[in-house]
Amino acid sequence: MTYEDILSCADHTLLSPQAAWQEIDALCREAMEFHTASVCIPPSYVKQVREAYPELTICTIIGFPNGYETTAVKVFETRDAIQNGADEIDMVINLGWVKDGLYNRVLDEIKQLRAASEGRILKVIIENCLLTEEEKIRMCEIVSQSGADFIKTSTGFSTGGATAEDIRLMRAHCAPTLKIKAAGGIRTLEDAEAFLSLGADRLGTSRLVSLVRNAKGV
């Protein structure tokens, strides 16, 4: 697998609360140079990035990082992001509902954001590090039913990120048409290649561009 193959699957990410425009702009320039799948940025920068980089694929996050906003708030966030120029939406589920076994509510919320996203790519973050194996499997089934495009392992802001075991489990229990995004815990190019070989289709990471730069000596 070439560096270019790996980078083409990467959502080049900067979601730090203190991220300033200079850093976001640098992220976008790197994404253009290295041909990443997208940039994943805070919603407040979507419009500015769309105006500055009209050809760039923009991913943004909804209900991030805790997922406990009301569905109405998440729907509004999604519509606002689309209006501002987002191409892809990464939403966080309501983990409390999962713990309460309220899977119908989780499914309904995803479906509402599916509708609000108006055909854009929708990724559903289930935060595996906070779920039991049974809950992970159930969420694979729920997201498979929802019409979403991707299931995503992690926000990167909780107690852990993607693991090889989780990618194997998700690939085994998700519908074949549902894609997987591994996020968090990608520290080396070997990690990235391993996740892709196990069945991940996208990688959420802030490190890959710098890792490739170092590997190439540029």
CA distance 174 to 41: 27
Give the start-to-end residue ranges of the domains of the chain: 3-216
One digit per residue, the tens of pLDDT, for the chain of length 218 reads 999 999 999 999 999 999 999 999 999 999 999 999 999 999 999 999 999 999 999 999 999 999 999 999 999 999 999 999 999 999 999 999 999 999 999 999 999 999 999 999 999 999 999 999 999 999 999 999 999 999 999 999 999 999 999 999 999 999 999 999 999 989 999 999 999 999 999 999 999 999 999 998 86
- Decide if 152 is catalytic: yes
Give the model's pLDDT for residue 91: 98
Number of CB atoms found within 10 A of residue 207's CB: 17
CA distance 139 to 116: 21
Give the model's pLDDT for residue 185: 84
Active-site residue, selected from the candidate residues 74, 136, 181, 191: 181
136-162 burial by CB neighbour count: b if 16+ within 10 A, else e?
bbbbbebbbebebbbbbbbbbbbeebb
- Residue pair 6/189 in contact by the 8 Å Cβ criterion: yes
Give the model's pLDDT for residue 217: 80
- Decide if 181 is catalytic: yes
Give the model's pLDDT for residue 120: 98
Active-site residue, selected from the candidate residues 152, 166, 179, 191: 152
Active-site residue, selected from the candidate residues 90, 149, 166, 191: 90
- Residue pair 158/169 in contact by the 8 Å Cβ criterion: no
- Residue pair 59/40 in contact by the 8 Å Cβ criterion: yes
Give the model's pLDDT for residue 18: 97
So what CATH class is 3-216?
A: alpha beta
Helices and strands counted in the chain (H then E)? 10, 8
- Decide if 216 is catalytic: no
